[in-house]
């Protein structure tokens, strides 16, 4: 017997008198690219755009309640996200279909799935089946969604945008509350990554639907067409073209058409010198830990650093941390410095091994103290109410 944990089925029972207001699905299949991330061993993330499909098959009894299920086992967070999506759609579409079994499938069926970031994808897929509106094949999106249609932030946005570009997506939508993470990406890597793809921010389902479907508002269509001209100019002349007054005028025109065109907004900030000079608090912490994941793991493991780290790894981590330090939020400096200090002690231990047991014991004690300082700095951040509130809002 198939376990309920493997196939999540949500059955919405109609009242006896309620079948009269049910409707036929306008489409039997819809597909959309959802943006996912996969954690790497170095603490960073690899992003990708993964095809998601919603397929509806008729049930023998047309009066049977609508069934909606995933084609594989998913975690509780994704389960909960789909429940919120269905609540929203039941309110949005007063006439709710019956007599169908809808399966939501992922391109990759053999890796575990969890998290709420596919919520808006599921909402658009299901809405497409009900409304008959077809989704733009060059569009990709990520974001959590509440039952009121509001879209909430998710993690791994920079990696997801890079993954969308590699999948030949041309238009991407991300939660508006995640916009600062792409400002961080521009600060670290320049405008090139963002200019290769058109990124929009969305705060709710209605904003997302205006971009997701093939039939778009004239203002959205025009903004996409005009930014494609800017993309071509950047490709030919590099980011220096942004200093051109005509290009800046074009970017302002695009933002009048679509104020949520994030790529245009970020390009204009670079052009006018108004880009942030430091990373966001979340970006600062992520970058610090990504650079130093090997060191942090060694610091927390309690293993002999002589056996756990290579000279080259140490040199790269220390150099990277030093290079990025001035771009970090100042509140993260002491944390980054504690990691650097730990790395320097370990590197010194390896390059010039102490002679004698007493000397070696002292050096190892110093390294242990440095490792403990890293943990104290982490606790300071966790206990800082202002910082934690800011991280939650991000």
pLDDT single digits (tens) 285-340: 988 887 777 676 665 555 455 555 555 667 788 888 899 999 999 999 999 999 99
- How far apart are alpha carbons 122 and 257 in whole angstroms? 28
Look at 114 and 205; give whichever has higher pLDDT. 205
Instruction: Judge contact between 146 and 84, C-beta under 8 A.
Output: yes
Return d(Cα 69, Cα 3) in angstroms, integer.
13
Report residue 17's pLDDT band, with 50, 70 and 90 as the boundaries. Answer: very low
- CA dihedral over 239, 283, 275, 199, signed as positive or negative: positive
Helix (H, G, I), strand (E, B) or coil at 153: coil
| pLDDT for the residue numbered 2 | 41
Percentage above 70 pLDDT, the chain: 87
When pLDDT is cut at 50, 70 and 90, the band that residue 214 belongs to is: very high
Question: What confidence tier does 253 reach under pLDDT thresholds 50, 70, 90?
Answer: very high
Over residues 371-382, the pLDDT tens digits come to: 899 999 999 999
CB neighbour list of residue 269: distance below 8 Å, 6 or more residues apart: 183, 186, 275
Q: Where are the alpha helices (DSSP H) in 40-109?
A: 76-92
Phi, psi dihedrals of residue 263, rounded to the nearest 5°: -60, -40
Cα-Cα-Cα-Cα torsion 114, 168, 186, 280, nearest 10 degrees, comes to: -10
In whole angstroms, give the CA distance from residue 24 to residue 228: 38
Q: Determine the Cα–Cα distance for residues 290 and 282; give it in Å rounded to an integer.
A: 12
Q: Give the residue from 129, 116, 16 showing the smallest Cα distance to 67.
A: 129
Q: Whole-model pTM?
A: 0.84
What token pair was written down for 267?
């390009």
Residue whose C-alpha is closest to residue 148's, from 232, 90, 109: 90
Output the average pLDDT for the chain: 86
Which tokens belong to 156?
């791994």
Specify whether the CB–CB gap between 299 and 335 falls below 8 A: no
Strand 10-11 and strand 45-58: the pairing is: unpaired
Measured distance between the N- and C-terminal CA atoms of the chain, rounded to whole angstroms: 43
Structure tokens at 13: 């029972």
Nearby residues of 275 by Cβ (< 8 Å), 6 or more positions away:
183, 186, 187, 266, 269
pLDDT for the residue 40:
64
pLDDT in tens, 164-183: 887 779 999 999 999 999 99
pLDDT greater than 60 at residue 6: no
Q: In whole angstroms, give the CA distance from residue 380 to residue 286.
A: 16
pLDDT category at 1 given cuts 50, 70, 90 is very low
Looking at the predicted structure, is the pLDDT value of residue 144 above 70?
yes
């Amino acid at each position: 017997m198939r376990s309920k944990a493997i196939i999540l089925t949500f059955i919405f029972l109609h009242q006896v008198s309620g079948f009269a207001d049910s409707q036929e699905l306008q489409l039997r299949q819809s597909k959309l690219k959802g943006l996912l991330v996969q954690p790497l061993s170095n603490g960073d993330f690899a992003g990708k755009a993964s095809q998601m499909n919603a397929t509806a098959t008729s049930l023998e009894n047309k009066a049977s309640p609508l069934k909606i299920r995933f084609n594989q086992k998913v975690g509780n967070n994704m389960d909960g996200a789909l429940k919120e999506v269905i609540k929203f759609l039941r309110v949005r579409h007063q006439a709710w279909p019956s007599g169908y079994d809808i399966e939501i499938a992922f391109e990759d069926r053999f890796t575990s799935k969890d998290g709420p970031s596919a919520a808006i994808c599921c909402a658009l897929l299901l809405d497409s089946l009900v409304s008959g509106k077809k989704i733009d094949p060059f569009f990709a999106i990520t974001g959590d969604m509440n039952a009121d249609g509001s879209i909430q932030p998710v993690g791994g946005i920079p990696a997801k945008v890079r993954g969308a570009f590699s999948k030949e997506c041309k238009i991407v939508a991300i939660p508006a509350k995640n916009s600062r993470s792409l400002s961080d990406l521009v600060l670290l890597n320049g405008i090139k990554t963002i200019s290769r793809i058109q990124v929009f921010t969305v705060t709710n389902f209605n904003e997302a639907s205006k971009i997701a479907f093939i039939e778009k508002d004239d203002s959205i269509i025009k903004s996409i067409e005009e930014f494609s001209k800017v993309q071509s100019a950047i490709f030919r002349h590099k980011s220096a073209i942004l200093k051109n007054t005509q290009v800046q005028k074009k970017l302002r025109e695009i933002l009048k058409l679509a104020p949520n065109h994030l790529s245009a907004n970020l390009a204009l900030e670079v052009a006018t010198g108004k880009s942030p000079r430091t990373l966001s608090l979340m970006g600062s912490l992520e970058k610090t830990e990504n650079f130093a994941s090997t060191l942090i793991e060694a610091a927390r493991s309690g293993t002999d650093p002589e056996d756990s780290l290579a000279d080259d790894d140490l040199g790269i981590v220390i150099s990277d941390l030093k290079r990025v330090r001035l771009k970090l939020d100042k509140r993260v400096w002491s944390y980054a410095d504690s990691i650097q200090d730990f790395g320097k002690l370990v590197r010194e231990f390896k390059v010039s091994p102490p002679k004698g047991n007493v000397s070696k014991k002292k050096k190892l004690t110093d390294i242990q103290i440095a490792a403990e300082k890293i943990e104290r700095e982490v606790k300071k951040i966790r206990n800082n109410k202002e910082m934690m509130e800011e991280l939650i809002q991000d």
